[in-house]
Chain A
Amino acid sequence: MDRKLNNRNQEIVDVLPNIRRFAASLTGNLADADDLLQSTVERLLAKGLPADVEVLPWCLRVCRNLWFDEVRARKVRADASREPAVIGEQVLQGEDQVIGEMTLAEVQGVLRSMSDDQRAVLELVAVEGFSYKDAASVLDIPVGTVMSRLARARSTLMERSGIAGARST
């Protein structure tokens, strides 16, 4: 970008990748994530960033509220007759790219099978490195719910992608 941004806009630019990944966890695919990202930025610019907030959690809360309160219902209706795309589909064309013990296709497939609630908490904690408390604040759920959803998401990912170690009791 060749134009100098004002400070508040620059703060949003600095967290755009984080908002975008979080949006992808909610929508499950990049095209819808970019629509949600655009709506989020519009809302942030319209309402302004309060001076005393941490920028990233604030932006993610705006994104989350837009998704659950406005966008998801519309999208579910629109998608009722078609199969949605998956995270990473636009980039990752191979079926057998290996990440550790799993292939990307396996990871994609399992994430696709999860609910947006589970994907979102997994993204915040495992990808963005949020504490449970901060993830709970962004998602507006109790910390205990973060823990249980996270455990379910991770268990699902392990079981369905065939990397599960022996379960401990």
Chain B
Amino acid sequence: MQEWNDEKLGAYMDGELSPGEAAELEQHLASDKALRARLDALRAADGATRKLYASLDAEPVPQAVLQMLQGDAAKPDNVVPFLKLGAGRVFRAPVAIAASVALVVGLLVINLSRDASGPLNSGITSLEAVSATTIDVDTALHRMLENAASGDAIDLGSGETGEAILSFADVAGRFCRQLVISGTDRDAHAVACRNGTAWHVEALAYTASLPEGQFRTASEPTPVDITTAVDALIGTADPLDREQETRVISNGWSTDE
């Protein structure tokens, strides 16, 4: 009988088990709550480690190192920020180094699951929430869809980061959002549309997570199921621009002023 210790669970998480072993483990996971909890804890440990290391990217690289690579002995007057290369997804935008320390600290505390407005009771992760037909209103993911602007990286708790990619009105007049949730070992790409006050998941696809040091770029392919779903829903209309989206969000996803 196979013993599913931390080494094996870690190998599963890292994609290092054989297909046969992975299938066997998945069977056990389906029926063993303690094993699932252990796997979740391993994922959380990795997610926390990635975030801690990602925070180093916001610190400026020593001038001496940059000068060596430039082959230039001339010394610039100021410290060169080093956000362009390798910053984690949450820290994508290049910003002035003067603000970067505050930015890092600020972003790390954007944690919707511990929002001051009250604890969330669902107890499920955002990757779990998006796998349902309707996104539980009592989740960080629902709150992100309701309130976050497209392009803003949101810490969803449990080592997950979310981002709305774009918003649009579909051919039936519903508001929809394309989104991505970055988990510790996989990312979920989805399209959700708002029916009444609920967000219904219209399309869902998974990809392997990017290593923390890599950017998610605009040119990175979106899973074809997602682009197909967006194309079908949006018809010939355009996505909302920033101003329209801001207005719709502040109106609670209503077109009534």
| Contact call B213/A91, Cβ cutoff below 8 A | no
Question: B23 to chain A: closest CB distance in Å?
Answer: 17
Question: A61 to chain B: closest CB distance in Å?
Answer: 18
Question: B1 to chain A: closest CB distance in Å?
Answer: 10
Neighbouring B residues of A17 by C-beta, 8 Å: 57, 82, 85-87, 213
Given contacts A38-B65, A151-B10, A165-B39, contact A100 B34 (CB under 8 A): no
| Chain A proximity mask over B45-57: 1 for CB below 8 Å, otherwise 0 | 1111111111111
Residue A55 at the B interface, CB < 8 A?
no
| Contact call B53/A99, Cβ cutoff below 8 A | no
Among B16, B49, B62, which residue has the most Cβ atoms of chain A within 10 A?
A: B49
Neighbouring A residues of B38 by C-beta, 8 Å: 164-168
A34 to B79, CA, bound (A): 14
Q: CB < 8 Å: which of A20, A41, A107 contacts B52?
A: A107
| Contact call B101/A91, Cβ cutoff below 8 A | yes
Q: CB < 8 Å: which of B37, B71, B86 contacts A9?
A: B71
Q: Closest chain A residue to B42 by CB distance?
A: A154
B interface majority secondary structure:
helix
Residue B58 at the A interface, CB < 8 A?
yes
| Contact call A165/B37, Cβ cutoff below 8 A | yes
A127 to B36, CA, bound (A): 22
| Contact call A87/B70, Cβ cutoff below 8 A | no
Q: CB < 8 Å: which of A42, A92, A157, A169 contacts B49?
A: A157
Q: Closest chain B residue to A37 by CB distance?
A: B65
> Contacting chain A: which of B106-114, B198-206, B216-224, B228-236?
B106-114
A147 to B14, CA, bound (A): 10
| Chain B proximity mask over A117-130: 1 for CB below 8 Å, otherwise 0 | 00000110111110
| Contact call B50/A91, Cβ cutoff below 8 A | no
Neighbouring B residues of A41 by C-beta, 8 Å: 65, 68-69
| Contact call A24/B70, Cβ cutoff below 8 A | no
Residue A113 at the B interface, CB < 8 A?
no
Residue A66 at the B interface, CB < 8 A?
no
Question: B44 to chain A: closest CB distance in Å?
Answer: 5
Question: B10 to chain A: closest CB distance in Å?
Answer: 5
Neighbouring A residues of B245 by C-beta, 8 Å: none
Neighbouring A residues of B124 by C-beta, 8 Å: none
A91 to B107, CA, bound (A): 12
A99 to B158, CA, bound (A): 7
Neighbouring A residues of B45 by C-beta, 8 Å: 102, 154, 157-158, 161, 163
Q: Closest chain A residue to B9 by CB distance?
A: A168
A148 to B10, CA, bound (A): 10
| Contact call A155/B6, Cβ cutoff below 8 A | yes
What are some 16 contacts across the A-B interface (CB < 8 A)? A1-B80, A3-B70, A12-B69, A17-B82, A17-B87, A21-B53, A21-B57, A21-B86, A42-B68, A90-B59, A91-B59, A97-B108, A99-B47, A100-B44, A132-B11, A155-B6
Taking A3-B72, A102-B48 as given, write out 7 further A-B residue pairs in contact, using a Cβ cutoff of 8 Å, ordered by the A residue number: A1-B70, A18-B86, A92-B52, A100-B47, A104-B51, A155-B6, A165-B38
